[in-house]
Amino acid sequence: MTDDQHRFTGVYDECRQRVWAYVVSRSGRQVADEVVSETFAIAWRRLEDVPDPALPWLLGVARNVLRDTIRAEARREALAQELRAWTEGDVADQVTERIGVLQALAALGDDDREILVLVAWQGLSPKEAARVVGCSTAAFRVRLHRARKRLKQAMEPAGPSRPRVRNNLSEEWS
């Protein structure tokens, strides 16, 4: 066991489940293990580039791996299944109020959902999240503001017709 191996194991144990959760929220469970596995292989190869905290860097790598290795079609199918799982309550501890929020999140576009997940579930600061999605912090704040607004609208039960899950490629990878 070398020092590098120690450090790598530490990074893995600290971040693995967070990276997995991010990938699941982008592409579902079927492909998540494969993407996570490749992400950490890259982290090992480039260990000296891994900053502390490592999570935003790892999420950025996972995002690229997802884009480069998983076909858009496969990703869409797996994601649709994952989003159904969130809202149909196949997850044991689901509480009714939570389902409404998750339904609203599932109904948003991929970009909005990614931004909200990075901030609310991964606990990233706007600066860190901006680095993950590859835009400026200022641009990210604007996008976050809009995503929050659309989430709020989607959560209002009597609101206008909800946006449907979008599969717009150009929007997904922007």
Partner 1 sequence: MNPMDELRAARPAHLGDAPVDEGTRARELTYAMSHPRKARRGRKVVWPVWGISLAGATAAVAAAAVVVTGTGGAPPSAPDSVAQPAATATATATKVRLSAREVLLAAAEKAGSQPDEMGAWWHTSTMQRTLHQVAEGGYTVVERQRSEGWTSSATGGEQGGTYQSLGARPATPEDEAAWRRAGSPREFEVKVPGKPRAITLSTSPRKPWGGFSPLVDGDKVFWLGRNVTMKELRALPSDPGRLKAWLLRSYKGHDTESESVPMASDPWLYRVSTGLILDMPVTPEVRAAAFRMLADLDSVKVIENVTDAEGRQGAAVAVEEKVRDSVMETRLIFDQETGRGLASESVVVEPGDAHAGHEPGTVVGTTTVLEAGWADSRP
| Tokens standing for residue 114 | 């990614």
Angle of helix 72-87 versus helix 29-45 axis, rounded to 10: 120
CA distance 93 to 131: 33
Number of residues forming the site for partner 1 (CB under 8 A):
50
Spacing of C-alpha 152 from chain mean position? 19
In which element (H, E) is residue 37 found? helix 29-45
79, 119, 124, 132: residue in contact with partner 1 (rule CB under 8 A): 119
Out of 74, 120, 142, 169, the only residue in the binding site for partner 1 (CB under 8 A) is 120
Which listed residue (80, 101, 133, 165) binds partner 1 by CB under 8 A? 101
DSSP state of 52: S
Residues 7-36 that bind partner 1 (CB under 8 A): 7-10, 12-14, 16-18, 20-21, 24-25, 33, 36
For residue 158 the two structure tokens come to: 């009597």
Residue list 38-57, contact with partner 1 (CB under 8 A)? 40-41, 43-48
- Does 155 participate in binding partner 1 (rule CB under 8 A)? yes
CA 144/CA 140 separation, integer angstroms: 6
**Interface positions with partner 1 (CB under 8 A):** 1-10, 12-14, 16-18, 20-21, 24-25, 33, 36-37, 40-41, 43-48, 85-86, 91-94, 97-98, 101-102, 105, 116, 119-121, 148, 151-152, 155
